[in-house]
Structure formats: structure tokens, C-alpha cells
Amino acid sequence: MDFDSVTLAASTADLTEEPDAREHADCIEFRMDLADEPLAALEAYDGELPILATNRAEWEGGDAPDAGRLEALAEATAIEPVEAIDVELESILEGDAEDVLETARERGVATVVSAHDFEGTPPRGEIVSTLTEARKHADVAKIAVTAESKADTLALLSATEQMTAHGDPVATMAMGELGSHTRAVAPVYGSKIGYAPVDPGKATAPGQYDLETLSRLVADLG
């Protein structure tokens, strides 16, 4: 999976929803942490869209306990449709993710290294620093913040533009009602991945558009 242009990821914990995403999405973000038997589901997958596998930790807003979490993500890289994985920056900084990163590299699987702030939006310089650190380990550095003002969204978009101008692929978005428009606008400033639920009733983050709407907005603004 390359991220040379904007990639629209349809988020789901149910891979049988893939046919509903084909018209608008470029890949499936499979939330392993929200699925009952994620590796079995990946093995049985016969869809057309490639998969970005995410096994989000409880401490980063997901449902996966630490025990076996990264090992399962490493196992997923051996399954052919999995062309990218998401690894939390914090797990890398703590030294827990070296094996999964190495396994992904050996198997030619792309990496998205992510950070989430559910409390607010750091200053612009801090956003850039986080993305720069994530980029050291990733094909795409991702950050999701929580916007509490228009100034927060401007800081995020400015950081996105700076990283893109330096040639660093990033994925950025602001969660929450105030930040929802950034999911459509950030690609204008260089963000490479947009996320939307296959089922609008099963949003995996606050402020997500439905898949069809996000696809249309990104296309119109691009």
C-alpha cells in the first residue's frame, strides 16, 4: 500500500462489510481490537480492498489489552491482504514495538505510526515534534487531536502543511464536533489518510463523517 495520494480508509471491525465500502474507499481499516476473532477474520477475508490493520491499545482509546496485542498485529502482517499496520508511537518509545516493526519491514508491509490526544490539542510546535518522531519509524506519521477551538484546528492544519512541505507523509485530523471539518480539509494541506466508518452508526472516533460524505468532500476539495 502506498500513500502517494490521499487514501480513504473505511473503518470497521466486521470484514463482511467490505463490499459496502468498495465504491468510496481505497482500503479497509480493520479494527482488530473491536473484533471477536480478528486473525481468523483476516484469514477468511476475500474482499477486494487492501487492509490497514489496527489493534488499538486500551490506553490509546481502543479495546485491546497489552497482553499479546502487538504479537497479534505482527501475525497479521503475514496475511496477504494486510498491506499496512498501525502502531502507536507510545509503544515504540517504550521499546515494546521493535519486533512488530521489524516484521512489517521484512514482509513489505507499510507502517502508520500514530498518536492520539483525547483531551485537547497541543501547541503547533508540539504537533510537529510528535509527527517528526513518529515519521522516524513510519511510512506515514499520524496524529489525532481533540479540537476545543478554531485555533486548535488551524494549529493542526499548519503543522500538516509544514510536514508535507518537508516531504514527510502524515495523516492528521481533529476529533470532536469543532474538528470534524478537518477530516475533509486536512488532505488539502497534505494529509494522506482519511478515516470514515463503513456503517455511520459505528463510528470509531468522535467527529467522523460517514464514508460517502467524506469521499465526496475530499474529492470536491481536492
202 an active-site residue?
no
65 in Cβ contact with 34 (< 8 Å): no
142 an active-site residue?
yes
Q: Name the catalytic one among 116, 136, 137, 150.
A: 116
100 in Cβ contact with 134 (< 8 Å): no
77 in Cβ contact with 104 (< 8 Å): yes
The CA–CA distances, whole Å, from 104 to 14, 91, 94, 151, 163 equal: 23, 15, 18, 37, 24
Q: Name the catalytic one among 136, 137, 142, 181.
A: 142
CB atoms within 10 A of CB 196: 27
Residues identified as active-site? 116, 142
